[in-house]
Amino acid sequence: MKKLILAIATGLGSGYSPVASGTAGSFLAMLIYWFVFPTNPVLVLAIAAAVTALSVYSGGEAEKILDSRDDSRIVIDEFAGYYVSVLFLPKTIFFAVAAFLLFRLFDVIKPWFVNRVQDWKGGWGVTFDDIFAGIFANIVLQVVRYAFFK
C-alpha cells in the first residue's frame, strides 16, 4: 500500500525530478490534461475534484511515510492545482500552456493568505495552497478569455 500511495503522491514518479519537482509534476499534469482529458467541462470538473480528494489523502499519507512535511517529492497537489487552473476554459494549446505558466507563477509567489494555508494539517495543507494557485490562474485566464477570445 505504501508503494501505491507514494506512486500517486509523487505524480507517477515525477516528484523525484532532481530539479524543480513541482514544475515536473505540473508539466506531467498538463500533458495528461492535453492528451487524455475530455473536452466536456463537467467531466473535467469531476476529474479535478477526484484528483483533489486523492491529493488530500495521498499527500497526507505520503508525509507520514516520508516523515517530512510537504515534502518536495509530493506533487499530486500540482496535478490538482493545474486541473483547477484549466476548469471551464477552452481546451486549446494557448490555454493549456498559459494555465501551466500562471499556475506555476502563483504557486511560487503564493499571494495573500496562501502561505498560511500550507499550515493546515496533513494533506489539506499540501493540497490547498495549490488549489488556490489554480484558482488565481483560472481567474486571470477567464478574464483573458472574455477580453480577447469572445
CB atoms within 10 A of CB 31: 13
Query: What does the pLDDT look like over 5-23, one tens digit per residue?
Result: 999 999 999 999 999 999 9
Average pLDDT over residues 115-127: 79
Q: What is the dihedral of CA 100, 106, 109, 71, to 10 degrees?
A: -70
Which residues neighbour 72 within 8 Å (Cβ) at sequence distance 6 or greater? 15, 21, 22
Q: What pLDDT does 119 receive?
A: 73
The larger pLDDT score, comparing residue 66 to residue 100, is at 100
Mean residue pLDDT of the chain comes to 93
The whole model's pTM is what? 0.94
C-alpha cell at 18: 532532481
The structural domains of the chain, with segments of one domain joined by +, span: 2-148
- Residue 127 pLDDT > 80: yes
Residue 117's pLDDT band, with cuts at 50, 70 and 90, is: low
Half-sphere exposure of 12 (CA within 13 A, CB side): 9
**Reduced to 3 states, what is the DSSP secondary structure of residue 56?**
helix
Residue entry with cell 492545482: 81
Report the length, in residues, of the chain: 150
d(CA 21, CA 30): 14
Q: What pLDDT does 132 receive?
A: 93
Query: What does the pLDDT look like over 21-80, one tens digit per residue?
Result: 999 999 999 999 999 999 999 999 999 999 999 999 999 999 999 888 778 899 999 999
- Residue 108 pLDDT > 70: yes
Listed range (80-84, 112-116, 126-130) with the worst mean pLDDT: 112-116
Element (H, E) at 113: none
